[in-house]
């Protein structure tokens, strides 16, 4: 099986050489430069997340992806994720079909309910409808992806009767749904016949094997297409383990503690970080050799078709991320392919 390798970013606002936080504008320009480098070093996919809070610069990922499309040649482009629950499926399709046109067929859409909830009150949605909004809107978007006139009705938005949506893509568009680890979400993905993107941000990858098996059983039960399964996990690469860990830790600490204060998490610690970068953790950080071995083990354990590393976390500098991207493309990906070929 051909394995794809991607990179994801949420557009985290980082610090410059003077230690001060960069502007949102400069952060976005840096994301475009990071994607350019990823394209040059042979990465297969580049994903940009959607958030609506001060720690992240990207609230309109399709705009950033369109800029990236104009400055890259081969890399596939998508989101990580599009918060479909607080968006409109028709507009989501139209934006991504437009991105697909300007990128010459390189667009993908990765959909999710959103682990951050800022977009719901911002766009006038009730959090009590969290589940129903996503279920209905996913149902409609899957119909729109068939690119034929749609007749549809639901309770969360107005009905459509023989509605046709433009522009059309030239060769269709791949769609994924991001899942954090609930069986119901996995079954939903299988029922709709789209790709499963497992967000593994804690614990060993092996604990997600039951979800992979459930997806395959559900696909057979529903008679829907079998799509590749992908994994999204955080990481950072440097020339040595020690350099990677020393560089990455402050960003992981800052981001975990910022979010943790809102969600009641305990303070992040160096001991926890070292556990997370080990075999039992979900952070893929260290030297190219260490990271490649861990990715290869995850691919074998889960039987996945794509691995996406979330290379940006917290205040990690642009320069450090650029080096991480370079090593991912030039050293980690070739090593993983060789490890898999060797068995």
Cis peptide before 167 (omega within 30 of 0): yes
With cut-offs at 50, 70 and 90, classify the pLDDT of residue 17: confident
Q: 214 near 188, Cβ under 8 Å?
A: no
What pLDDT does residue 294 have?
A: 98
Give how far Cα 316 sits from Cα of 32, 47, 325, Å.
16, 18, 13
Residue range 213-241: average pLDDT?
A: 96
Checking if the pLDDT of 1 tops 80, the result is no
Checking if the pLDDT of 321 tops 90, the result is yes
3-state helix, strand, coil split of the chain in percent (to 5) is: 50, 20, 35
Residue range 186-212: average pLDDT?
A: 96
What pLDDT does residue 50 have?
A: 97
Rounded to an integer, what distance in angstroms lies between the CA atom of residue 282 and that of residue 200? 6
Residue range 266-290: average pLDDT?
A: 97
Looking at domain 4-342, its CATH architecture is: Alpha-Beta Barrel (3.20)
Rg of the chain in Å (alpha carbons): 19
What pLDDT does residue 160 have?
A: 98
Rounded to an integer, what distance in angstroms lies between the CA atom of residue 148 and that of residue 131? 27
Which residue would you say has higher pLDDT here, 211 or 115? 211
Rounded to an integer, what distance in angstroms lies between the CA atom of residue 274 and that of residue 310? 18
Checking if the pLDDT of 186 tops 80, the result is yes
What pLDDT does residue 181 have?
A: 79
pLDDT above 90 coverage of the chain, percent: 94
Checking if the pLDDT of 106 tops 90, the result is yes
Reported as a single tens digit per residue, the pLDDT across 25-54 is: 999 999 999 999 999 999 999 999 999 999
Neighbours of 131 (CB within 10 A): 11
Beta pairing class for 160-163 and 174-179: unpaired
Residue range 272-287: average pLDDT?
A: 97
Residue range 277-294: average pLDDT?
A: 97
With cut-offs at 50, 70 and 90, classify the pLDDT of residue 15: very high
CB burial class (10 A; 0-12, 13-18, 19+) of residue 270? Answer: exposed
Rounded to an integer, what distance in angstroms lies between the CA atom of residue 306 and that of residue 170? 24
Assign 74 to helix, strand or coil.
coil
pTM of the model: 0.97
Copy the structure tokens of residue 263: 């969600």
What pLDDT does residue 343 have?
A: 83
């Amino acid at each position: 099986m051909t394995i794809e390798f991607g990179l994801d970013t949420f557009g985290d606002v980082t610090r410059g050489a003077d230690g001060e936080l960069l502007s949102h504008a400069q952060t976005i320009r840096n994301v475009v430069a990071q994607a350019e480098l990823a394209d040059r070093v042979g990465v297969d996919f580049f994903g940009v997340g959607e958030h609506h809070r001060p720690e992240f610069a990207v609230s309109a990922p399709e705009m950033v992806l369109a800029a990236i499309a104009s400055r890259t040649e081969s890399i596939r482009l998508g989101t990580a994720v599009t918060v479909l629950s607080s968006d409109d499926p028709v507009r989501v399709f139209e934006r991504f079909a437009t991105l697909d046109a300007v990128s010459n067929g390189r667009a993908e859409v990765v959909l999710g309910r959103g682990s951050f909830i800022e977009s719901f009150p911002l766009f006038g949605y009730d959090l009590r409808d969290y589940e129903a909004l996503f279920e209905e809107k996913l149902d409609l978007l899957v119909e729109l992806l068939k690119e034929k006139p749609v007749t549809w009705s639901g309770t969360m938005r107005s009905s459509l009767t023989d509605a046709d949506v433009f522009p059309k893509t030239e060769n269709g568009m791949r769609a994924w749904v991001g899942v954090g680890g609930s069986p119901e979400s996995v079954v939903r993905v299988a029922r709709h016949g789209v790709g499963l993107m497992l967000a593994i941000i804690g614990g060993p990858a092996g604990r997600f094997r039951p979800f992979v098996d459930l997806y395959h059983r559900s696909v057979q039960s529903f008679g829907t297409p079998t799509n590749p399964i992908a994994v999204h996990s955080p990481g950072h690469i440097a020339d040595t383990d020690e350099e990677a860990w020393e560089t990455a830790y402050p960003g992981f600490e800052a981001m975990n503690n910022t979010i943790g204060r809102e969600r009641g998490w305990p303070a992040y610690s160096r001991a926890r970080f070292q556990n997370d970068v080990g075999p039992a953790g979900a952070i893929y950080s260290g030297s190219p050799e260490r990271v490649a071995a861990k990715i290869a083990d995850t691919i074998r354990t889960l039987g996945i078709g794509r691995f996406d590393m979330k290379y940006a976390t917290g205040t990690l500098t642009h320069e450090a991320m650029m080096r991480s991207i370079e090593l991912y493309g030039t050293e980690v990906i070739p090593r993983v392919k060789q490890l898999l070929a060797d068995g």
